[in-house]
Amino acid sequence: MRVWKFGNSINTDLITPGRYNITTDKRELAKVAFIEHRPEFAREVKKGDFIVAGRNFGCGSSRETAVTALLECGIAAIIAPSFARIFYRNAINNGLLLVTVDEAFIAGVEETHQLALRESGVVNLTTGASAPAGVSPMLLALQKHGGLLSFLKTHKIEELERVQQ
């Protein structure tokens, strides 16, 4: 497990740039993740890695490929102070774990650190720092079902109103 650290307002053009974003093949999309912004990312990323980022991660275009590519790369969770709206929704629907923590915790994380997600929140195993974590109840509920599409194979959409309880 390693940490990939990014700054504020990482937009979806940086995650899956428009010029490469022309395939519906998930494996091809995984290969273009951060292709210009961080060229080594797609080559070196491993299942279970974390992305730790600044505010407003995923802003910009509605392209769901940004979520698809990071899921396919095996990213275990994205940890940031805030996420952009459509990216957040796409992550909820696809079961990509997004975790909100305060900026002070993020500031203390370096790429060489080891992190762990616990019931109580996020822990930096290297420094000993920890912070409470926020996760959308809808995300947790849909993740249990394997995402929105899987949920809808066995449930009516109206049941989403109650699924978070």
Residues 4-33, interacting with another protein (CB under 8 A): 9, 11, 13-14, 17-19, 21-24
CB of 22 to another protein, least distance (A): 5
Q: Which two tokens stand for residue 94?
A: 């696809």
CB of 21 to another protein, least distance (A): 7
What element of type H or E holds 163? helix 160-163
CB of 49 to another protein, least distance (A): 23
53/28 Cα distance (integer angstroms):
24
Task: State yes or no: residue 96 binds another protein (CB under 8 A).
Answer: no
| Contacts of 21 by beta carbon, 8 Å cutoff, 6+ apart | 29, 32, 63, 65
Task: Using CB under 8 A, list all residues that contact another protein.
Answer: 9, 11, 13-14, 17-19, 21-24, 36-37, 55-56, 59-65, 67-68, 82, 84-86, 88-90, 93-94, 138, 147-149, 152-153, 157-158, 160-161, 164
